[in-house]
Amino acid sequence: MANTVAVTGASGFIGSAVVRSLLADKRRVRALVEPGANLKNLDGLDVERVTVDVCDGDGMKRALEGCDALYHLAAIYKLWMLDPEPIHRVNIEGTVATLLAAQAARVRRIVYTSSIAAIGLASRDDDPGALADESTRFNLFDIANDYILTKWQSERIAMRFAQSGMPIVVVNPAFPFGPRDIAPTPTGKIVLALLKKEVPGVSPGGFCTIDVDDCAMGHLLAEEKGRVGERYILGNDNISIGDFMNLVCKVAGTPTPRLPLPKMMSAGIALGMELWADLVSREEPRATYRSMRYAQRSAFFSNAKAKRELGLPSRPQEESVRRAVDWFRANGVA
């Protein structure tokens, strides 16, 4: 099984896009999927499937036997969980167990999927459009939720492994959009809420987006061209929340929310949703106080390094949004 490529989190949104890109590149793929995972995104794909818990060190050693490269994407991407223990376990403990297993298997190349959430923000009240880059220090302790903190901590772990000599390249995806968002992810839920006309108004702030297939190609380019121990921001478009809503509604042919929601009001609404989830519904809210505070900071990033060193592709943002809208509607989600 020489030259086999292992992909953890292979059935997920970005993970399955990476699998498809690898197959298009004529690579042999071993898809590592967590027990009980929805495998719809792997239907019809010529891959070897292995069910394994990324926190199971011995199981991961067996799963990586004979693998030449590893893409580690397995992570829990949620803005809120009633019990946050699994997000810490999978995102942190799973990173340690997986990298130790890869070390034992003598994997030649590892692409570790972090997040732009692991990078600090450069935007300020006097300069809301400032772009963060790979060198921006993490400065989000006041607004970081469990997902952000675990991605920051697990990336630090991956970087320590790289410093010890492991061939690890880190990628930091922005907010991904496109087809096959079966969960859906928090980013997909933004589109769905607009399609269902559930968004009450427009709040300040913004974020960085990327098409899920451009993000996947960025992973492959990181394996091929990335420098060991370096991180690369995979993001293509910085856009305000209002402009993004306008774009989605234009593509979908739905009314655009117009009611302006000042920072304190939108943060208050998000806090109310979170408290209702904590105390009553026990279901993930549409927004949380900290996720809203993050978005209000204008999470804008520079992709100059990934463009320069990797050749990160970039399709039009409207095309990515259209692909997401069409997929949700075709699959009866919206």
Confidence of residue 333 (pLDDT cuts 50, 70, 90): confident
User: How many CB atoms within 10 Å of residue 280?
Assistant: 8
* Type of residue found at 318: E
Does residue 2 have a pLDDT over 60? no
Q: Output the CA angle 206-290-10, nearest 5 degrees.
A: 75
Nearest partner of 71 among 3, 1, 18, judged by Cα? 18
Written as six digits, the tokens of 53 are: 């818990």
Per-residue pLDDT at 16: 97
**Predicted confidence (pLDDT) per residue in 179-235, tens digit:** 999 989 988 999 999 999 988 889 899 999 999 999 999 999 999 999 999 999 999
Burial class (CB in 10 A: 0-12, 13-18, 19+), 58: exposed
d(CA 61, CA 273): 42
Please give the average per-residue pLDDT across 293-307, as a whole number: 94
Does residue 1 have a pLDDT over 60? no
SS3 28: strand
Higher pLDDT pick, 258 / 158: 158
**61 CA to centre of own chain:** 25
| CATH 3.40.47.10, applies to 4-179+210-236+299-315 | no
Written as six digits, the tokens of 144 are: 């970081």
pTM of the model: 0.94
Per-residue pLDDT at 334: 64
Does residue 290 have a pLDDT over 90? yes
Per-residue pLDDT at 121: 95
**Predicted confidence (pLDDT) per residue in 50-86, tens digit:** 999 999 999 999 999 999 999 999 999 998 899 999 9
Please give the average per-residue pLDDT across 25-49, as a whole number: 96
Burial class (CB in 10 A: 0-12, 13-18, 19+), 86: middle
Query: Do 180 and 327 meet the contact criterion of CB atoms below 8 Å apart?
Result: yes
d(CA 329, CA 232): 33
Nearest partner of 204 among 298, 124, 273, 272, judged by Cα? 298
d(CA 317, CA 250): 13
DSSP-derived pairing of the beta strands 28-33 and 4-8: parallel
Q: What are the residue boundaries of the structural domains of the chain, listed by start?
A: 4-179+210-236+299-315
Please give the average per-residue pLDDT across 278-286, as a whole number: 91
User: How many CB atoms within 10 Å of residue 80?
Assistant: 23
Please give the average per-residue pLDDT across 288-295, as a whole number: 91
d(CA 326, CA 145): 31
Q: Which helix (H) or strand (E) holds 150?
A: helix 146-163
Does residue 126 have a pLDDT over 80? no
SS3 172: strand
Percent of the chain with pLDDT over 70: 99
d(CA 118, CA 301): 12
d(CA 286, CA 12): 20
DSSP 46-107: --EEEE--TT-HHHHHHHTTTEEEEEE------S--SS-HHHHIIIIIHHHHHHHHHHHHT-
Written as six digits, the tokens of 257 are: 């929310």
Does residue 313 have a pLDDT over 90? yes
Query: Do 286 and 193 meet the contact criterion of CB atoms below 8 Å apart?
Result: yes
Please give the average per-residue pLDDT across 157-181, as a whole number: 97
